[in-house]
Amino acid sequence: MTAYIIRRFLHLIPTFLGATFLAFLVIQLAPGDFITRLELDPSYDRAQIENFRRLFGLDQPFTVQYAKWLSGFLKGYLGLSLSYQTDVWQVLKPRILNSMVLVISSIVFVYVVSIPIGIYSALRQYSWGDRFWTTFAFFGLAVPNFFFALLMLYFALWLKDTFGHEIFPIGGMRSLYVDGVDFFEAPKWRQWLDVMWHAVLPVIVAGTAGTAGLMRVMRTQMLETKMQDYVRTARAKGLSERVVIYKHILRNAVIPIIASIGFLLPELFGGAGFVEVVMAWPGLTPLILDAIFSIDVYIIMGSISISVVLLMIGNLLSDLLLAWVDPRIRYS
Amino acid sequence: MSDPNDNTNLLEGLGERSQSYWQKAWMRFKRHPFARWASLVLIILYTLALFADFVGPYPEAKSFRKLQFVPPTKVYFKTEDGRWTRPYVCKVERTRNPRTFKLEFKENCEEKYTVYFVVHGHPYKFLGLVPMDLHLMGGPWLVEEKAYLFLWGTDDFGRDLFSRIWFGGRISLTIGILATIVALIIGITMGGISGYYAGTRVHIVRGLFRPPQKRATEAGEAGAREQNGFFSGGALAEGWREAARERRAPAFLAGLAVQYAFWGAAAAVLYGTMQGFLSITSGVERYVAMLVFGGLLAVMLWIFLFGRLAVDVDDLIMRTTEILAAIPTLFLLIILSGMLAQYDMPSSTRFMLVLTILAFVGWGGLARNIRGFVLQLREMEYAQAARALGAGDARILFRHIIPGTLGYLIVVASLQIPGYILAESGLSFLGLGIQEPSSSWGLLLSKAQQIGISAIKERPWLFIPGFFIFVSILTYNYLGDALRDALDPRAEH
């Protein structure tokens, strides 16, 4: 097992280097750089602009810029943001936290909703309930995130007009005032409660596609496990149906589902991204979109590299979980 | 299968018509509950998009500057006294609310404008070739702009949403198919090469001289002394001897030139990077960098002189797909198209660009799956037979192995298309895909969001493009599901 973990870890290094280098290469495709915008501004003279270029290392070939960025990254320094005029980490940290709130709540939502429904559908195969959830799964997989988010906003506005006050907030992540007190001066638990209240609709939107997909996988898993020989043996032994279902079928069926958490991550990142844009959630994606148009290289690189690291950790955890559960994987 | 007429004495199988794999698949496809409906809806959507000029009363770019965000025009079927009549519309007039100063649109029903069907209207060129002016709905009043026919309202430029949805459908519905084709071409080539050549090593560089460590290990071996020279013991000479034996010296020399050119270029880039890096760095970082870069260059030089570097093409391609998968797809999509969206380009070029980006981001998963199939199929008897008959690698791969994956490819294609439709609408929704004045469903839907959250409720007709994205993805998913059930060879019943 130790050898497997070490091998998997070593595997991450070239992937990380390749992915960040690819991202850096893509940024070079843009016309000009951040400073090109300043050249059009008459209040800056040539010398100042050259100075800026040197300061941000933009006068060097891009391989040098990448090497410099990488060496900074290894030291834990993500560079200077050109448009925010400050350390990139200062800009990124709150955004990443906000995104993580959304992504982690979505994961919880996906699992809590999809596993019971999957079990139900498998146990009552071809019943009306199963049919309903099958249709729901198809709808959930087909509805575009951004469209669903817009519909949810419409729904929230409708609720507000109907009941006279906001049942669900209309976009955003926090209220200006909590109980008449400024948000940042309110007690911590009130702040969290407020954020969670704002997160309800975004989490539903971001999690729907994942829920729909996982629900189907869970159903298939249950149905396949039901056919196994050891289940028949358990029944033949005279175990009660309850024990057979929850101890023999469910436990085996749910293992790959739990382990697939890492593969769900990229999907949720994407899903949450659109929700952030539409519902004005101050996460990572709106930041990247802004940075793209101002070619703020280090903000983009910082966001990409950190999401790559998060994704790799998620995948690694998944793989380790799977290997821990299934010894056949370890030795291949 | 023998002809049943020849062995009439064998009773078994009598009266049963034998069916091919595809016939059975077709039967299973037809039995799927939604396959028929999904196909029908898709055919209707594609037909309407194809005849967008005919279906929509207005040309794609026709805008009415004073008629922004006009609500859908009401079509009346009854006169005021309640008698059925031919459908007609009233003129929409723009007024300003004297109290709130908001723009309002009021109907003026003094004059009625009858809606005629299949009528002459704005001229257009069908498919860009045939000049025509027939439209599904309209009338002389529409061309003379006495009244307007905005079935689904107008957008921020005062353009008819109903017409633009069909024009947008052309892009949204075709880009998915085209991107899937491009991704399949890349995926099949890469996955095929990867699977077929898995285990074969290709030289990146061959060392010139005999490696010093060889002397020690071969000291006791009897045959080692034959090729023991300083030069003839190197990887280069070894490769040359092999090539000469197999009579492919010219190919070997050409490959050699590429290998050394690549190695030289890599070393030059590394050296340049080191120089630039050291010139802007100081302190401990500088010394560490010297060590790292110096070490890398030394290793490269050592390999060039004494070693050899051979890699598995399979490894190389699979690592590439892993790198592509390591970046969250949405982020890769938005930085790629965001950077390239900043250039000015005609809409046809932008269409190609979006298509290429989608294919570039999506080929990795396909390649991995196809590789898996090829790894299995290359060991099959028929592939070995082809090799024994002297078929070349390309022929074996593309004529014997890839066709074996056809069922899988069809299913994958039908599930990849909705994914790409979704991706394209998402990009256009963010303003990074198709741009004005062209239209796509994602771009049309983005109008609903641009006008601010509070205005969403006042202009619900801007949501209509979203339903089109939803329906097309839903039907493609049903189609893919039906195809998967139909083409699964395990589903024998």
Residues B397 and B485 in one domain: yes
- The pLDDT value recorded for residue B428 is 92
Please determine, for residue B16, whether its predicted confidence score (pLDDT) is greater than 80. no
> Which of A147, A275, A289 to probe by mutation at the B interface, max B CB count within 10 Å?
A147
Counting one residue from chain A and one from chain B, the pairs whose CB atoms sit within 8 A come to 169
**Pick from B158, B190, B219: which residue ends a domain?**
B158
Give residue B474's pLDDT band: very low, low, confident or very high (50, 70, 90).
Answer: very high
Evaluate if residue A191 carries a pLDDT over 90.
Answer: no
For residues B408 and B417, what is the distance between their CA atoms, to the nearest angstrom? 14
Verify whether the Cβ–Cβ distance B466 to A150 is below 8 Å.
Answer: yes
Is residue B295 assigned to a domain? no
CATH number for the domain including B382?
A: 1.10.3720.10
Of B429, B469, B474, the CB nearest to A138: B474
The confidence band for B12, taking pLDDT boundaries of 50, 70 and 90, is: low
> Mind telling me how many Å the CA of B362 is from chain A's nearest CA?
14
pLDDT tens digits, B82-119: 788 888 888 888 888 777 777 778 887 777 888 888 88
Name the percent of chain B lying above pLDDT 70.
Answer: 91
Cβ contact (<8 Å) for A142 and B477? yes
pLDDT band at B32, cuts 50/70/90? Answer: confident
pLDDT digit string, tens, across residues A230-280: 889 999 998 888 888 888 888 888 877 877 777 777 777 777 889 999 888
| Residue B310 touches chain A, beta carbons under 8 Å | no
The one-letter amino acid at B439: S
Distance CA B336, CA B432 (A): 9
Of chain B residues 380-419, which have a CB less than 8 A from chain A? 418
- First and final CA of chain A: distance in angstroms? 12
With beta carbons less than 8 A apart as the criterion, state whether B184 and B369 touch: no
Cβ atoms B319, A14 nearer than 8 A: yes
Confidence of residue B218 (pLDDT cuts 50, 70, 90): low
Q: Is the pLDDT of residue B214 over 80?
A: no
Q: Do B44 and B138 have their domain in common? A: no
| Any domain includes B270 | no
A292: closest chain B residue by CA: B338
Percent of chain B with pLDDT over 90: 25
Same domain, B391 and B429: yes
Instruction: Please check whether residue B253 is in contact with residue B236, taking contact to mean a CB–CB distance below 8 angstroms.
Output: no
B335 shares its domain with B408:
yes
Residues A19-57 pLDDT 10s: 999 999 998 888 877 777 777 777 777 788 888 777 777
Taking only the tens place, the pLDDT of each residue in B48-70 is 999 888 888 888 888 888 888 88
Instruction: With a cut of 80, say whether residue B7 has pLDDT above it.
Output: no
Residue range B383-392, pLDDT digits in tens? 889 989 988 8
**Does B336 contact chain A (CB < 8 Å)?**
yes
Cβ distance A170 to B453 less than 8 Å, yes or no, reads yes
> Looking at the partner chain, which of A16, A142, A266 has a beta carbon nearest the beta carbon of B470?
A142
B171 within a domain of the structure (yes/no): yes
Number of domains in chain B: 2
Percent of chain A whose pLDDT exceeds 90: 22
Distance from CA of B285 to the nearest CA of A (A): 8
Checking if the pLDDT of B493 tops 50, the result is no
How far apart CA B196 and CA B210 sit, in angstroms, is: 32
CB contact B348 to A (< 8 Å): no
Name which of B413, B416, B445 is nearest B431 in CA terms.
Answer: B445
In this prediction, residue B2 carries a pLDDT of 46
On whether both B42 and B136 belong to a single domain, the answer is no
Residues B178 and B46 in one domain: yes
Residue B449, pLDDT > 90, answer no
Chain A: residue whose CA lies nearest to B270: A63
In-domain check, residue B248? no
| pLDDT band (50, 70, 90) for residue B298 | very high
Contact B470 A14 (CB under 8 A): no
pTM: 0.87
pLDDT above 50 (res B1): no
Token representation of residue A15:
């992937």
- Average pLDDT of chain B is 84
B340, B445, B456 ranked by CB distance to A157: nearest: B456
The answer as to whether B76 is a domain residue is yes
Is the domain of B154 the same as that of B41? no
Q: A273-303 pLDDT, tens per residue? A: 899 998 888 989 999 998 988 888 889 999 9
Are B351 and B429 within one domain? yes
Binned at pLDDT 50, 70 and 90, residue B155 comes out as: confident
- Choosing from B93, B125, B158, the residue where a domain stops is B158
Query: In this predicted model, which residue has the larger pLDDT, A327 or A51?
Result: A51
- pLDDT recorded at residue B425: 93
Among the partner residues B335, B445, B470, nearest to A27 by beta-carbon distance: B335
B455/B479 same-domain check: yes
B294 domain-assigned:
no
Q: Which of B69-83, B196-210, B213-227 has the lowest mean pLDDT?
A: B213-227
Stretch 425-464 of chain B: residues touching chain A, C-beta under 8 Å: 425-426, 429-430, 442, 445, 448-449, 453-454, 456-457, 460, 463
Domain closes at, from B158, B188, B218: B158
Residue A332 has pLDDT above 80, yes or no: no
Q: Which chain A residues are within 8 Å of B477, Cβ to Cβ?
A: 138, 141-142
Phi and psi at residue B146, in whole multiples of 5°? -75, -35
Residues of B in contact with A157 (CB under 8 A): 453-454, 456-457
Contact flag A269-B328 (C-beta cutoff 8 Å): yes
Using pLDDT thresholds of 50, 70 and 90, give the confidence band for residue B492: very low
Residues B153 and B26 in one domain: no
Would B147 be classed as within a structural domain? yes
Q: Answer yes or no: is B342 within a domain.
A: yes
Q: What's the pLDDT at B346?
A: 86
With 0-12 CB in 10 A as exposed, 13-18 as middle and 19+ as buried, what is A12? middle
DSSP code of A178?
A: E
Q: Is the domain of B30 the same as that of B151?
A: no
Query: Do B375 and B486 lie in a common domain?
Result: yes
Residue B435 in this model has a pLDDT that exceeds 80: yes
User: What's the mean per-residue pLDDT of chain A?
Assistant: 85
Q: Name every chain A residue with its beta carbon within 8 A of the beta carbon of B456.
A: 150, 153-154, 157
pLDDT (0 to 100) of residue A330: 60
Residue listed under structure tokens 């290359």: B378
State whether A57 and B289 contact (CB < 8 Å).
Answer: no
In this predicted model, which residue has the larger pLDDT, B268 or A314? B268
**Of A84-88, B9-13, B112-116, B174-178, which range is least confident?**
B9-13
pLDDT at A210 over 90: no
Distance, CA of A109 to CA of A271 (rounded, Å): 14
Q: Is the pLDDT of residue A179 over 80?
A: no
Is the Cβ of A14 closer than 8 Å to some Cβ of chain B? yes
Helix pair A188-226, A145-163: axis angle to 10 deg: 130
Chain A residues with CB inside 8 Å of B478's CB?
A: 138
Check if B285 contacts A (Cβ < 8 Å): yes
For chain A, say whether B280 makes contact (Cβ under 8 Å): yes
Phi/psi for B367 (5° steps) reads: -60, -40
User: What distance in Å separates the CA atoms of residue B244 and residue B246, rounded to the nearest whole number?
Assistant: 5
The domain in which residue B133 lies consists of: 53-158
The pLDDT of B15-29, averaged and rounded, is: 78
**pLDDT: is A150 or A328 the higher one?**
A150
The answer to whether A265 and A309 are in contact (CB under 8 A) is no
Torsion of CA B159, B164, B168, B173, to 10 degrees: 160
Please give the sequence-ordered ranges of beta strands (E in DSSP) within B169-221, or none if there are none: 201-206
